[in-house]
């Protein structure tokens, strides 16, 4: 399981668990249910955007990023709920790439689902939040890390489970400075999220007194997935990437796409 997969599972689980304090606000009465039982419906919404395949077939491609965490949390909630007269259900909706979010919002609204865990990009998240059907709902953001969501993109019906890039970069910079490791090498990928996090690191360096002594960019060029075990990256590309650097304390890797960062530990 990659770092991105594990994080999304964890954030989805947190998002579902975060609905516990709000349960009494959005409880949905069921005609055949025990009138003393609290029934809470939670939605999970994501968009099926194809991801770049890992270099090697040895690396398993997760098909349930985030969703597995939400399912686990529902099980946890219902285990405790048996003793507290609480019942939780999960309505899973996966729209195709560039699919109809409005239809998904309408389906949630018709089913009485007012708590929605959303694994969406920033544009699609804001699109969802703007629908009339979502004005009485609370959307838990577990994916979009864009800093704009805390400023111009702030919406009253979106609750952020995941930190934005500026928060993560600031926390990392403060820790490194407190450990007296001020000289950094920054290596970033070529994908837009990688570049966005690299920008956040540059901003944090200026704020907290870090010095980026050198920057390098890694361009991913995969070989045949059926024959390449990943050793070409490990033995050749990673060593070339980290050679001939100036003196530094810490290497910071901006690789939100999980393309090359996992090959760097112990090879700097």
- SS3 labels along 87-145: EEEEEEEEEECCCCHHHHHHHHHHCCCCEEEEECCHHHHHHHHHCHHHCCCEEEECCCC
> H helices of the chain, where?
3-17, 23-26, 67-84, 101-110, 122-130, 165-178, 192-208, 231-232, 238-242
Q: What is the pLDDT of residue 55?
A: 59
d(CA 188, CA 191): 9
**22 and 118 share one domain:** yes
Tokens of 149: 């969501």
Neighbours of 172 (CB within 10 A): 18
Task: Answer whether residue 268 is part of any domain.
Answer: no
**11 and 132 share one domain:** yes
**Directed axis angle between helix 67-84 and helix 3-17, to 10°?**
30
The answer to whether 145 and 219 have CB atoms below 8 angstroms apart is no
Structural domain total, the chain: 2
**33 and 154 share one domain:** yes
Whether residue 207 is predicted with pLDDT greater than 90 in this model: the reply is yes
User: pTM for this structure?
Assistant: 0.82
**68 and 186 share one domain:** no
pLDDT tens-digit readout, 139-169: 999 999 999 999 999 999 999 999 999 999 9
Residue ranges making up the domain that contains 204: 166-263
Of the chain, the end-to-end C-alpha distance in Å amounts to: 23
**112 and 189 share one domain:** no
Whether residue 61 is predicted with pLDDT greater than 50 in this model: the reply is yes
**59 and 152 share one domain:** yes
The answer to whether 17 and 77 have CB atoms below 8 angstroms apart is yes
Q: What is the pLDDT of residue 66?
A: 85
Convert 240-249 to b/e letters by CB count within 10 Å (16 or more is b): ebeeeeeebe
Q: What is the pLDDT of residue 7?
A: 66
**36 and 107 share one domain:** yes
Interacting residues of 181 by C-beta distance below 8 A, sequence separation 6+: 249, 250
**153 and 209 share one domain:** no
Question: Which residue has better confidence, 58 or 214?
Answer: 214
**27 and 104 share one domain:** yes
Task: Answer whether residue 27 is part of any domain.
Answer: yes
In this prediction, residues 88-116 reach a mean pLDDT of: 93
CATH of residue 145: 3.40.50.2300
pLDDT tens-digit readout, 237-253: 778 888 899 999 999 99
**86 and 184 share one domain:** no
Least confident of 119-123, 181-185, 236-240, 264-268: 236-240
**98 and 175 share one domain:** no
pLDDT tens-digit readout, 69-85: 899 999 988 998 888 88
In this prediction, residues 127-143 reach a mean pLDDT of: 95
Q: What is the pLDDT of residue 19?
A: 64
Last residue of a domain, one of 130, 162, 194: 162
**52 and 154 share one domain:** yes
In this prediction, residues 15-32 reach a mean pLDDT of: 56
């Amino acid at each position: 399981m990659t770092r991105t997969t594990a994080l999304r599972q964890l954030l989805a689980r947190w998002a579902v668990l975060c609905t516990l304090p709000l349960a009494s606000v959005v409880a949905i009465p069921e005609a055949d249910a025990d009138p003393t039982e609290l029934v809470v419906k939670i939605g999970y919404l994501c968009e099926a955007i194809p991801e770049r395949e890992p270099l090697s077939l040895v690396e398993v491609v997760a098909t349930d990023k985030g969703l597995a965490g939400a399912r686990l949390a529902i099980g946890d909630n219902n285990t405790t709920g048996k003793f507290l007269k609480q019942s939780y259900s999960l309505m899973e909706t996966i729209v195709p790439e560039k699919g109809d979010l409005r239809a998904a919002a309408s389906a949630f609204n018709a089913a009485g689902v007012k708590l929605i865990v959303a694994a969406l990009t920033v544009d699609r998240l804001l699109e969802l939040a703007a629908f009339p059907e979502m004005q009485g709902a609370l959307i838990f953001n577990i994916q979009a890390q864009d800093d704009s969501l805390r400023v111009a993109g702030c919406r009253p019906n979106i609750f952020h489970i995941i930190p934005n890039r500026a928060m993560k970069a600031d926390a990392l910079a403060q820790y490194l400075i407190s450990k007296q490791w001020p000289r950094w090498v920054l290596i970033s990928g070529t994908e837009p999220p990688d570049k966005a996090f690299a920008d956040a690191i540059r901003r944090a360096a200026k704020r907290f007194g870090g010095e980026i002594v050198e920057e390098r960019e890694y361009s991913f060029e995969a070989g045949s997935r059926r024959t390449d075990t990943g050793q070409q990256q490990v033995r050749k590309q990673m060593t070339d990437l980290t050679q001939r650097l100036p003196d530094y304390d810490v290497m910071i890797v901006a690789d939100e796409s999980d393309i090359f960062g996992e090959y760097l530990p112990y090879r700097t």
